[in-house]
Amino acid sequence: MQRAFRGVFIVWVVLRHGLDELVLSSFRHPWLRLLARIVSFGRRLDAPRGQRLREALERLGPIFVKFGQVLSTRRDLLPPDIARELARLQARAPPFPSAVAVRTIERAFGKPLEAVFSHFEQVPVASASIAQVHFATLKDGRHGGREVAVKVLRPNMLPVIEKDLSLMRMMAGWVEALSADGKRLKPREVVAEFDKYLHDELDLLREAANAAQLRRNMAGLDLVLIPEMLWDYCHTEVMVMERMHGVPINRVDELRRRGVDIPRLARDGVTIFFTQVFRDGFFHADMHPGNIQVSVDPATFGRYISLDFGIVGTLTEFDKEYLAQNFTAFFRRDYKRVAELHVESGWVPPETRIDELESAIRAVCEPYFDRPLKEISLGMVLMRLFQTSRRFHVEIQPQLVLLQKTLLNIEGLGRDLDPELDLWNTAKPFLEKWMLEQVGPQKLLQQLKDEAPQYAKLLPALPRLLHDFLSQRPVVSRSELQELLREQRRTNRLLQTLFYGGLGFVLGLIVMQVLVRVRLF
């Protein structure tokens, strides 16, 4: 019943804001344009189409607002007027009353607002679909006098999200049951992933933990700033963090006027993204312009400032290695290896012909190499790859949906900053270096170092384990015992060979490093 009421409400909002007319009027067929005029008869649709779309998404709630935020970064796929209007969703969703925010803060901390903050700005500095942010100054304690940003969760969010997710689950079930591609697309698993991340966003303690992890990961990169979380003032509904001073990244003219190197900023953004994905397997997955600023402080001038950590993505070691090998093969234009990786990972049926899949991937990707970002639409590339995947029955991987969304965000940001940016050649050296670290001698030495404590525990116990094993075995004949001894001798010789070979390999690496350093100096 709740799904039915929510469905009726969605249809009412669509008709109220004339979105049906908006869709029909975009077609070229005369009879569809005539139908658009008929359905709009008697309704006042004077507002611009971009405004109507934005207001409808705001009226429908946080899930639809997030959908509009993703769309707003794709200026290559949307008309300029719609893209400009949807960009207002990135940080200026309608705020909720400040009195409600104050009551939430006082309930979370169990004390009056004046006992926590010496100054609190009633007007929010930013308002998004899930929460809004107020600037304040802490009053007492070890952080007394410190300027902070206070993030407060919107009230009564859970029931609204549950209704929308329930509808999405129902629609996903229909797609899986009725569509020929239903099982391959895994719509219910994708909705389950979206469900997980949305519920994570409703817990500000979890968001604070995400921020702390990203801050540790990025500490040595010197390209991005992440605010410090003040744990004494963090709650599931309220999060207090270090206040950051920067310029929103979509104000390119102001950044250029302040002397920020815009092309370098675009390259740094690519580096940050690939570092988080492939080095750490833990990445900011909501990188629209409302969450990204650029520092103008002299000490950190030109660095990114990352905000809003409610949605982060994680990748397993298998996912990272698979994706890195795919990207590296793409950059080298080794389409055969890309096809082989799809078969090896189980993404396509094992009987798939490698040569046919290789040819299809080449036809999609080859036209886009060696071209600046302004001439490439990653959205169109993904659309063509999606069409190809249908032909070869490629299974959609739900755990990578967030990565795909974030990659589109990165492309949108890069396009706004530097249309001449070559996304492929900027990322290629990073991925090649990362792959070398994964399969080179440094990785081998690191793995040996990591496993050394386990070996140290196991070696003293080997005699006892061997005695226990032999004492449990039945009595063997003399011939069987002689055969066992011969096999043991062969095993000992093999282990000696491997030991001395490995020792020689390590010593060779050390000698090579010494020679390289002597040659450099």
What is the length of the chain?
A: 521
- Dump the DSSP string for 426-456: HHHHHHHHHHHHHHSHHHHHHHHHHHHHHHH
Show the DSSP H helices in 204-306 as ranges.
204-217, 252-257, 262-274
Q: Tell me the C-alpha distance between 29 and 31, whole Å.
A: 6
Contact, 131 vs 146, CB < 8 A?
no
Q: Which DSSP category does 229 fall into?
A: B
286 an active-site residue? yes
Write the CA distances from 259 to 134, 410, 427, 478, integer angstroms.
Answer: 29, 22, 25, 86
Side chain identity at 250, as an amino acid letter?
A: N
Question: What is the arrangement of strands in the sheet containing 292-295, beginning at the earlier edge strand?
Answer: 224-225, 304-306, 292-295, 246-248
Write the CB contacts of 371 (distance below 8 Å, at least 6 apart in sequence): 422
Contact, 70 vs 288, CB < 8 A?
yes
Write the CB contacts of 414 (distance below 8 Å, at least 6 apart in sequence): 266, 269, 270, 373, 421, 423
- Structure tokens belonging to residue 346: 């189980």
Q: What is the dihedral of CA 275, 277, 280, 285, to 10 degrees?
A: 110
Q: Tell me the C-alpha distance between 205 and 225, whole Å.
A: 20
Q: Single out the catalytic residue among 286, 308, 319, 418.
A: 286
Write the CB contacts of 278 (distance below 8 Å, at least 6 apart in sequence): 320, 323, 324, 430, 431, 434
| Residues identified as active-site | 286
